[in-house]
Amino acid sequence: MRINLRKATHLASSLLLAAGLGVFSDAAQAQGPTTGKRAASAGHRASYGKKSSKRSRRRERGQKVPTPDRISEIQQALAKDGSYAGKPNGKWDESTQDALRKFQESHGLSPSGKLDAKSLQQLGLGAPTAGVASPLPSTTSSKLTPPSTQASQRPN
């Protein structure tokens, strides 16, 4: 009896597939009956129901909306500059956007009316390195880093 290579490969892969399906079906039965839902593969079942899925760990993209207190702070800074004429109300309305556009134009920035790092920096409300360089290391002590390491990380 002579079997060609193609048939032997097909037979071997079929046997492996059948053995694998048998193992997975035994694992599914050991975990208990399904509740009317389609049975999932063993790999999926292991992570099913966990709250730390890839979707929940993703970082949200885009800019977050400033709080009303932060908006009032921005409006006060714009009023101090003379760009905003109204009373700070904590609402990002058309008059606030117009004031920001006017401020941006008078300070050589792109007059978009949208908050950005450079505009906040010019208003005196942003970090000195905002939009220019990476953040400076923290100068506060940490329980995770030994004091000798922290002293060497501080800028001179």
- At residue 134, the pLDDT reads 65
Per DSSP, 91 falls in state -
- At residue 89, the pLDDT reads 94
- At residue 99, the pLDDT reads 95
> How much is the average pLDDT of 140-150?
59
Please tell me the pTM assigned to this model: 0.47
Q: Buried b vs exposed e over 7-35: b needs ≥16 C-beta within 10 Å?
A: eeeeeeeeeeeeeeeeeeeeebeeeeeee
Among the ranges given (80-84, 140-144, 151-155), the one the predictor scored with the smallest mean pLDDT = 151-155
Per DSSP, 27 falls in state H
Alpha-helical (H) ranges within the chain are 5-30, 42-47, 54-57, 68-81, 94-106, 117-123, 147-153
C-beta neighbour count of 144 within 10 angstroms: 7
Q: What is the pLDDT of residues 91-108, one digit of tens each?
A: 999 999 999 999 999 999
**Which residues does 90 contact at the CB level (< 8 Å), separation at least 6?**
68, 69, 71, 72, 75
C-beta neighbour count of 130 within 10 angstroms: 16
31 or 90: which leads in pLDDT: 90
Query: Cα separations (Å) of 132 from 30, 54, 104, 116, 155?
Result: 58, 31, 17, 12, 18
